């Protein structure tokens, strides 16, 4: 049993993504995880038989080291590679230790792509949100599955940042001639318990967006620039 992820207790809609993945993708399909962190999503995908491309640029996730945890205090957190090896799925996982925008698209091509609350981090604000999403879309072959959960605005300053978005706004990036939107969800504000990087109770509001790239693009369909 691998060491638990630092993010083990945080809310996620990843199980719904896996169900969609199982329905739509063949066994052994490739899934790219953007913001792989310490493998919270990478390990279960690999253990389920999928090939995983884990894209991560954070030194803590890549090399491990000491972290400050709620209640427990300082502790050693293993690296992504250590957790992959500990789980016995090294042959199923390829780690791309680069910034998402600096990694060649050809090195990330997959049947499905998943990201969890990554694009709202300030390090990703240097590029427009549409560019982040478009790059995720470009990784997928026809019929490929796109999955993202993300932070919605809840504090006043969030409403000034496009990277805190809503499912309604994301529809603009998924024109119906090219994409089939499969699922959108949004939560009410909820209290999340302390975790690494956030040592006190805090409030979140999350959204979820799943879509499938159509095998045949409808003639005349274009990306809605509205």
Mind listing the pLDDT tens digit for each residue in 135-194? 999 999 999 999 999 999 999 999 999 999 999 999 999 999 999 999 999 999 999 998
pLDDT band at 213 (very low <50, low <70, confident <90, very high): very high
**59 or 196, which is more confident:** 59
pTM of the model: 0.93
Neighbouring CB atoms inside 10 A of 4's CB total 11
Task: Decide if 87 contacts 47 (C-beta within 8 A).
Answer: yes
Neighbouring CB atoms inside 10 A of 120's CB total 18
Average pLDDT score over the chain? 92
Spell 28-54 as b/e; 16+ CB within 10 A means b. Answer: ebbbbbbbbbbbbbbbbbbeeebbbbb
What domains, with CATH codes, occur in the chain?
Answer: 14-213 (3.40.50.150)
Amino acid 9: pLDDT: 87
Spell 93-114 as b/e; 16+ CB within 10 A means b. Answer: bbbbbeebeebeeeebbbbbbb
Amino acid 4: pLDDT: 86
pLDDT surpassing 80 at residue 74:
yes
pLDDT surpassing 70 at residue 224:
no
Amino acid 1: pLDDT: 55
The helix/strand/coil state of 219 is coil
Furthest-apart CA atoms within the chain: distance in Å? 58
Share of the chain above pLDDT 90, in %: 81
pLDDT surpassing 60 at residue 207:
yes
pLDDT band at 70 (very low <50, low <70, confident <90, very high): confident
Task: Decide if 179 contacts 134 (C-beta within 8 A).
Answer: no
């Amino acid at each position: 049993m691998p060491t638990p992820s630092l993010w083990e207790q945080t809310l996620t809609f990843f199980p719904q993504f896996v169900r969609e993945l199982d329905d739509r993708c063949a066994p052994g399909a490739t899934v790219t995880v953007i913001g792989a962190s310490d493998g919270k999503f990478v390990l279960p995908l690999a253990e389920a038989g999928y090939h995983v491309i884990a894209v991560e640029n954070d030194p803590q996730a890549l090399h491990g080291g000491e972290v400050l945890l709620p209640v427990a205090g300082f502790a050693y957190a293993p690296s992504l590679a250590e957790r992959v090896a500990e789980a016995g799925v090294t042959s199923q996982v390829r780690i791309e230790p680069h910034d998402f925008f600096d990694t060649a698209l050809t090195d990330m091509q997959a049947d499905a792509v998943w990201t969890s609350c990554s694009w709202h981090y300030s390090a990703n604000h240097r590029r427009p949100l549409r560019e982040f999403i478009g790059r995720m879309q470009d990784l997928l072959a026809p019929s490929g599955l796109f999955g993202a959960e993300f932070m919605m605005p809840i504090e006043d300053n969030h409403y000034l940042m496009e990277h805190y978005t809503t499912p309604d706004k994301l529809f603009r990036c998924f024109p119906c001639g090219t994409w089939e939107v499969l699922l959108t969800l949004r939560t009410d504000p909820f209290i999340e318990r302390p975790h690494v990087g956030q040592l006190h109770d805090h409030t979140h509001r999350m959204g979820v967006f799943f879509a499938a790239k159509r095998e045949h693009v409808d003639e005349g369909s274009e990306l809605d620039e509205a």
